Structure 1
Amino acid sequence: MDVETFWNLIESCRRRTPDPDERVVWLSGQLARCAEPEIVEFQICLGRVLSPTFTWELWAAADRIMGWCSDDSFFYFQLWLVGLGRDAFERVTRDPDALAELPEVVRLVGRDHEDWDEEEWPAWEELDYVALRAFTQVTGRSECDFYDVVDAQRGDDYGSLDPAGERWDASDDAEAERRLPRLSGMFPVS
């Protein structure tokens, strides 16, 4: 599966429903129609697509929006960005402050995190399990088998273990105003 096919699946999914759970079911169903190598390649392609989002700048943007962002929640945030579609994903990857333009972010402004609906949270963990579900359904093999096949096919293409760029504190208002001026205005530190 190449990047174009990957994004075509994501875009088709987006057009079908805004509901993340329904998207997961649809994507898993689409992948279950594929041969094993293509299912595995979807997972590998997901990793490649996510690679340029693994930056301290984008992590700080996620931290600013959510008020705090662990390594797991940042990964789920990156997956959520994929779910926004290729155009939004690429704009935000180039300029994390462009998150301020997205309706999915704008609707969160001024609201307490506890009032966000589950579907509104900028996180989509389940995207990481779509290919796994299709693989186990198609092959009857285990989760461990899936990750073994992914690792064998991916080889040494793991990317960096540390985010790119300079780490900085997103709760530092002065630094956030300099680096993420629109987001820092929309999501002030309380």
Structure 2
Amino acid sequence: MTEEAFWLLITRAAEQPCDREEQAEWLTEELTRLPVDQIVAFQIKLSEVRLRADTWPMWAAARVIQDGFCSDDSFWYFQLWLLTLGRATFARVVADPDTLAETDAVRALASRPMKTWSDQDWPDWESLDYAAHEAYQDATGREAGLEQALLETGHDLPVNPDPAAITWDVAEPDAVAEHLPKLTFLFSAKVA
């Protein structure tokens, strides 16, 4: 699957006028219309694109947005949520996570107390992680068949974030403020 085809599907799913669960269901339905090898290719491309955001600076950004907490699972789903920002914005924030402070979605989160965020507001898209798996099962009738198909193509996909080491401590507030000044300022001004 080409990068363009992948992003077209992600963009169209994110544009659906419903919640993220239903957007993922829409995507699953679209994927079932593709040949099975393209469902596998979509999952491979999803993993490749998600891995671009699998960095400690991005994890630090997620922690700033989520009031200092971001577990492995939360960060994984945060990476998938970044796709909802669109291809160009995704590329920009991967290159510089501090630019998340310039996105409308993140500014909207910063403008309200976290306890008022709805499920749709939260910066995660967990259900995207299952879309290709469900489409593969629907298309082939094989439960857990996508994992086997991926192994047969030589792709062993990661199941947890695994960023490379960096030279600063993402849990140290002064280091985070130094490396993510716009995002830190945006959320330090947030109403509790």
Global fold match (TM > 0.5): yes
Structure 1 stretch displaced more, 168-177 or 20-29: 168-177
Q: Secondary structure at the match of 1:185?
A: helix
Number of residues paired by the alignment?
A: 189
Report the counterpart of residue 80 of structure 1 in structure 2.
Answer: 81
Distance 1:165 1:14, change over 3 A: same
Report the counterpart of residue 23 of structure 1 in structure 2.
Answer: 23
Q: Flag structure 1 segments of 5+ consecutive residues without an equivalent.
A: none
8 Å CA contact 2:75, 2:161 repeated in 1: no
Distance, in Å, in 1 between the alignment partners of 2:72 and 2:109 is 21
Structure 1 stretch displaced more, 174-183 or 12-21: 12-21
**CA deviations over 1:43-96 (Å, ceiling 9, x no partner):** 111001112211100000001110201111000000000122111111110110
Structure 1 stretch displaced more, 20-29 or 94-103: 20-29
Distance, in Å, in 2 between the alignment partners of 1:6 and 1:174 is 38
Report the counterpart of residue 41 of structure 1 in structure 2.
Answer: 41
Distance, in Å, in 1 between the alignment partners of 2:88 and 2:133 is 26
Q: Which amino acid aligns with 1:134?
A: A
8 Å CA contact 1:56, 1:167 repeated in 2: no
8 Å CA contact 1:58, 1:93 repeated in 2: yes
The TM-score with structure 1 as length reference comes to 0.90
Report the counterpart of residue 14 of structure 2 in structure 1.
Answer: 14
Identity of aligned residues (%): 40
Report the counterpart of residue 72 of structure 2 in structure 1.
Answer: 71
Alignment of 1:44-123 (within 5 A): 44-67=44-67, 68-123=69-124
Q: Secondary structure at the match of 2:166?
A: coil
Distance, in Å, in 2 between the alignment partners of 1:135 and 1:20 is 20
8 Å CA contact 2:55, 2:164 repeated in 1: yes
Q: Which amino acid aligns with 1:104?
A: A
Q: Which amino acid aligns with 1:15?
A: E
Distance, in Å, in 1 between the alignment partners of 2:170 and 2:164 is 16
Distance 1:128 1:154, change over 3 A: farther
Report the counterpart of residue 130 of structure 2 in structure 1.
Answer: 129
8 Å CA contact 2:78, 2:123 repeated in 1: yes
Q: Which amino acid aligns with 1:127?
A: L
